[in-house]
A and B are shown apart, each in its own frame.
Chain A
Amino acid sequence: MGKTSKDKRDIYYRQAKDEGWRARSAFKLLHVDEAYGILNGVQRAVDLCAAPGSWSQVLSRKLYDTCETDDEKSAVKIIAVDLQAMAPIRGILQLQGDITKQSTAEAIIGHFGGNEKAQLVVCDGAPDVTGVHEMDEYMQHQLLVAALSIATCVLETGGTFVAKIFKGNATSLLSSQMQIFFKKFDIYKPPSSRPSSIEAFVVCSDFCLPEGYIPQVINPARDDIRLLAQKTGSEVNRRLVPFIACGDLNGLSDPEEGKTSSSDESKSNLEYVYDAVMDDASYPLEFKEILKQVYDEQRHII
């Protein structure tokens, strides 16, 4: 078989095959590490949406294979989480589970044992793109929220979180959401990510839970966010969870400020409907004149 002249697989695809990576995406994590040193000193890591396993391979080679003694190896704990099973990787503990479920977070913590938590959480998951950019961005953001929320459950203070995003209008919101939990936040596009791709990666470090916040797994696609926000009883969660889930700003207000009577709300709804607002529109006179002329011309033609 010859090579196709239109072979669109780039240098990273070929290099991945040569070096034994399951997918070219392995280089993305390698580049992130090269730029930010996220793997330095890490012994406990979680790879969310891990299948087919290229990022887990990176973690295995960088964290597990570099250990020189059995004791060092036993101290390394890397957990790969995905709905799908994948071929075994040295030093990787596979956990088949749904990252949007609380039980999965509990299972991850259980595997670490004792009071230990992860030092690093990574996620290269992405939805099956539809070609509708806004929808793809939204679904990716939903996945990211789920990953972030489970990370808040399993990360230790000072930990690092790296996840795929689709760059778009929601980047500003994403920044605000991430900085609730991480003191340092950056968006990075590795060289191995195609320029034409809208993907990039958030690199968040120095994890710290806001005072009063109780970690909980959030699935914006499934959960009733209002009920979920009240589930823990934490006032901080009640305010933050709607914002984290979907950018709901009304919940960020103080409790007293947010209270309005039902009659006031009904009144504002009536005042604010489109027809009512537009009736008061200040139509510039010149526009009216132009419109009149145009319609007069059209009527004359008919």
Chain B
Amino acid sequence: MSESPGKRPKIGPSDCLCYLQGLGDVRPEDAALQLAQRIQTEEDEAAQADTCSGANQAALNISFRVYYHIVHKYELQDSHFADLFQRLTSEQPTAFLMLQSILLTDHWKRLDAALLEEKCTTAIIEALQRNNPSLMAVLKATNLLVKKFPKLQLLPLKLEHFYHCLQRQTQTGSREETLTLYNHCCKQPERAFSYFRLIVEFWPWTNRNKYYLLSGALNSHSLPDLLAATNQSEEEFFNGLRLSLSYKGLRAASQYPVKSLSNQRSPALLAASVELLLNGSVAEIQNFHSQWFLRIQQREELFELLQANPQIVEFLATEEERSPSDQLRLILIFSMFAREIYATSKLHFFKISTELLTNCSQMETEAQLLIFRFLVDNLGNFAVEDCLDFFHSFVERHRCLESSEFRNTMLGKMPTIINHTAKHFQKVLKADIGVGGHALAQNIKRFFSHLQHLIERDIHSEVYQPKIFALKLLEILNRSLYAEEVAKNAKMCSPQQNQRMGIFLLEHGVFRPKEMAQQLFETLNNPQGFDDALDLTVSLLIQMGHVDSEKCVERCFELCHTSDMDQCSLVSLYAQLAVTKEQAGSKIFDECLKRLTGKLDPFFEDPLQTAKSGGHLFGYLCALDEVVKAGLAVETPLEDLLPLLERILSGILKFLNVANARRQEEAATAASFQDMDESLQLLVSESSFKCDGEEEACRKYLLMSFWLTLKGCCDLATSIGCYQLQTSAKTVNTETLRRCLNINVSVLTLCRHKGAIEAAGLSIGRLTRAITSSLDSCDSGFQMLHDCLERELLTESRQVSTTRRGAGFAIMFLHVLKNDNPRQRLLLHRAVQQILKRLNENQTAETVCLDSNHDRWEALVLHYLCVLVRDTELRPAMSKYYNEILLVAMEHITNPEWTISNAALQLFGANLGKLVGQRQATEFDTRPAWEPSELDYDELGCLLPKACEHMLRCCDRQEVTSSIILFLAFLSKVEHLRTSGGKEPNPLLIRFRRLSWHLLRHKCDQVRQLAATCFVRSHEFRCDLPAALLASAKLAANLEEENFYEGLIYTLTSGVLKLKHEARHVWSAGRLEGFLEALLTALDVTERVRRFKPYTRNVLLELLGQLGSADKAALVESLG
């Protein structure tokens, strides 16, 4: 037994206040010292946190406030924190946490603002350059600093620094901190105007950060003044802004400048909005509605402008049949301005709304959903009775629609409908209205009766959509109306009103809980049912409370004894219901344990015969697991189950490897797929069960029984471990935990069945989370996890099994690390650092070549890193390692051992996705010919300095084409963006430009294509690219070398695509056309291109098509 030391209690605000009240009994110097010690403790804890995000800032704030109160009151020397300002570097983020606290005390007035400004700006720049996670802490402190000292200008911070801060989205809230600081800087007119001009004229409107950074200038300066300092017209500006409504990735960002423009009451914004509502596409209007409309404060003015426009008046008033597109447009505009239209003319409001509601069922589904939303949002303007009738028919019509979005919208609005109806019902009760009130009550009763009939019908459906809709609807109704304690279901909700209406409905028999529960119970007996529907049914039964525990127990035992695996799997559902009663749970536990024990011997003698005669082990295991998870007290100590589980586990693993064991007399390693297949054949052929020609089916049957039993062992072992931690965390038996853990580990490392591996992965994750959330990191139980990772996955001595992408091992690695304490991620950091260190060390070491039944250690650990990199939840913790990980991936992709090189490729691909982000989604039907990228070369150099050097060296040598393609594929997603960095480009950028130019002559066609894209991306579209393209065209006109010629044509094609994409609303159409003509002239396409082969001329034809030169294309085509 080992006793876990209790965690140190947090210093709460009340402690400090109490401490302050007791000052009279302590010398001021001693009080200050004790406070300083508390602060030090808090700082130490913050330093251990992964990204300082978990620091107890409130405790720090209180402590510093009290400390400086004492220092000032008693005129003490600030001896404890005088050196704090010297520690303000990017390497010490906790110092900035303390600075935040100090700035919140009265002591801020005595600080050296200039010194702090220097420290903060330097730390920001350094944090960016070194990709240091301290950035967030520094930003917060700096924002507080300029709030206290608003005249600080922060001149060392340049536009590119703000850009890169926006790119580093590794912590929640970092964007807002960046923009807050940027807004402060933009209060300086010269700075704001300069930034605005640079952003407007040099950045494409498809760059998300353009919108964020434009808003900063617009927050402090008027649009006309800003535009006057640029070459941009107001029209082009808003056309560019409008572009964001066609790109999903830009919508959220576009809200920022819209809000800024609205705050300055920009009439141009309203005019642009009117234009959009009049002539925009339906998609644009929809996005305007969802993204911009709520940010525009002058909605009444906007409505007046619309109302004054004859085009919109005519559109709204027309009685002609509308096209589906016009229907959507009408509904959208009407929904946006429903309030204004209602206030202006109730006649028009009801005329249009009546038309929509009456014809709703004739419209397309999308339009119908909008009408539904409109009605819910305007319930107050319509009679409740009419609304209920509409909702009933609407739900009935769409309950089977195979669209989760549609279904979720209907269900999501249901609380609003319920609350509104209950509110009116309450009025009826209070006013005691006669016939009208009675009529409303009857309407309400009828509506909910309809819903109830729908539920009772559809819970029995074999089709997923109506079934799940009915169950989810029942869940909402029960919680909102029928439960003993009605829950608040929305912000605007009166549980009392809902409960009264619920009582009314219950009294009138609309909902009969007992009968409903019975029907739900009957639906559980569905072996082929949908998992989530069955789980929701169980949840509903527990919520409703009418569980017949005796029937559940009886059903559990029946199912445990069935040979049908689908039926046997239902045990868990009934057990969950049964354990709500302690007596029933105890009965299940005792009986299942007894039966399980009795089944073991025949199972190990003949597993197929035992299973076929109703002897699956996993049914009993599932039942026991539910009892343990419920935390019920049982007579048998839970750890006594472990030998049983270990025996079952060992037996099944032996069964799966029996063929190999007989060949080698003793099983030396985990069973291969072939071993498993042959073993199953042996078990089936030697079984006393008569297969009658169904041997293959029996093998599948037996394999499924095995893996479900392994799953049951893992789940139960984990539940036992969790129970131990919950009930005796301070005195937990580490050996018991170890055995629980090892059961999961055995499946993950010795079994190759995918289902078993995935189940064990989830199970070990649950156990890990319980351990790391209950025990201190210094506890032996926590240390056990480190040892486990080291022993099972990180050493080279252990024999491993060949699995796809290190399947079982990688899954174990992921689930253990992922479920570590997210505040510190101690396991993760230790493991990753260990792997990287060993991979680097092993680069020069020869390793023993294992046989084909074992993976190389390098391959496995590369897969481990891959699963970590891919996981979104782990991104904040992993981002600091991206440079090193990419480096080891690149170094191993040329390994002659295929398993290693393949793992390295997977890792490179995973890392690449994290760095460059996802492809930008648009509203367009087809993929855009040119897609923007937001990762620029400055940032690349900061994030991946070593990796960049490696890529440059490798590509320059041109030794391995696949590596060149891989690296160019990465670089083809890096964009050059002009900022305020100075006239001379980044040296790294120049090197990559030279490299891509050189590779335009490569012998591999795909390299030439990628090099062309990289070359184009390394030149910004406003000035660099046009010049480079002209030079390229001039060179191509006189070139003889065909590979190089084709490479230049690819470059010109990519360049034209980029210009057409990025110059939109920056260059005028005429200017772009003129440039393309100049390009065509420089290219000088004549009959001399006959010197090139047809394939090359086809590439040229594509370019000529982009340039719109039909006559030149005809000339080339005529050459044959």
Contacts and interface: CB of A to CB of B under 8 A. Distances in A.
Contacts of A301: 155, 188, 190-191, 194, 980
Interface string A269-287: 0001111011011111001
Contacts of B1026: 284, 287
A249 B910 contact: no
A300 B188 CA distance: 12
Nearest to A250: B1043
B969 A280 contact: no
A248 interface: yes
A255 to B, nearest CB: 14
B1022 A287 contact: yes
B1024 to A, nearest CB: 9
A249 B1095 contact: yes
B565 A2 contact: no
A290 interface: yes
A114 to B, nearest CB: 35
B906 A242 contact: no
A138 B528 contact: no
A130 B907 CA distance: 8
A103 interface: no
Given A135-B962, A169-B1006, A250-B1003, A2 B1027 contact: no
A291 B1023 CA distance: 8
A248 to B, nearest CB: 4
A295 B565 CA distance: 74
Nearest to B960: A221
A133 interface: yes
A135 B965 contact: yes
B213 to A, nearest CB: 15
A135 B1027 CA distance: 31
B895 to A, nearest CB: 13
B1004 A287 contact: no
Contact of B1005 (A4, A173, A278): A173
A261 B60 CA distance: 76
Contact of B994 (A131, A275, A291): A275
Contacts of A134: 965-966, 968-969, 972, 1006, 1010
A302 interface: yes
Given A135-B909, A221-B962, A5 B532 contact: yes
B13 interface: no
A9 interface: no
Interface stretch (B85-93, B135-143, B1028-1036): B1028-1036
B197 interface: yes
Contacts of B809: none
A5 B1006 contact: no
Q: Is the interface of B mostly helix, strand, loop or mixed?
A: helix
Contacts of A248: 1003-1005, 1043
B569 interface: yes
A302 B194 CA distance: 12
Contacts of B1099: 172
A132 interface: yes
A12 to B, nearest CB: 18
Interface string A232-244: 0000000000100
Given A2-B529, A135-B962, A294 B1098 contact: no
A10 to B, nearest CB: 14
B526 interface: yes
Contacts of A5: 464, 468, 530-533
Given A137-B1006, A170-B1006, A132 B531 contact: no
Interface string B1083-1104: 0000000001111101100000
Q: Which of A169, A274, A287 has the most CB of B within 10 A?
A: A274
Interface residues of A, number: 57
B902 interface: yes
A200 interface: no
Interface string B966-977: 101110100000
A272 B1035 contact: yes
A266 interface: no
A138 B962 contact: yes
Contacts of B152: none
A249 B1093 contact: yes
Given A138-B962, A273-B994, A132 B969 contact: yes
A298 B198 CA distance: 10
B867 interface: no
Contacts of B1008: 247
A74 interface: no
Q: Which of B527, B912, B1093, B1095 has the most CB of A within 10 A?
A: B1095
Contacts of A1: 527, 531, 565-566, 569
A18 interface: no
Contacts of B1093: 249, 252-253
B1027 A283 contact: yes
Nearest to B569: A1
Interface of A: 1-6, 128-135, 137-139, 141-142, 169-170, 172-173, 176, 220-221, 225, 242, 246-250, 252-253, 268, 272-275, 277-278, 280-284, 287, 290-291, 294-295, 297-298, 300-302
29 contacts: A1-B565, A2-B526, A2-B531, A2-B534, A3-B528, A4-B531, A5-B468, A130-B905, A132-B969, A134-B965, A135-B909, A141-B1006, A170-B1009, A247-B1006, A249-B1005, A249-B1042, A252-B1093, A252-B1095, A272-B1001, A274-B994, A274-B998, A277-B997, A280-B1034, A281-B1030, A283-B1027, A287-B1026, A297-B198, A301-B191, A301-B194
Given A287-B1026, A297-B193, A297-B194, 4 more contacts: A5-B468, A173-B1095, A282-B1031, A301-B155
Among all A-B residue pairs, the 9 with the closest Cβ atoms: A247-B1005, A130-B909, A131-B909, A134-B969, A274-B997, A248-B1003, A297-B194, A287-B1023, A246-B1004
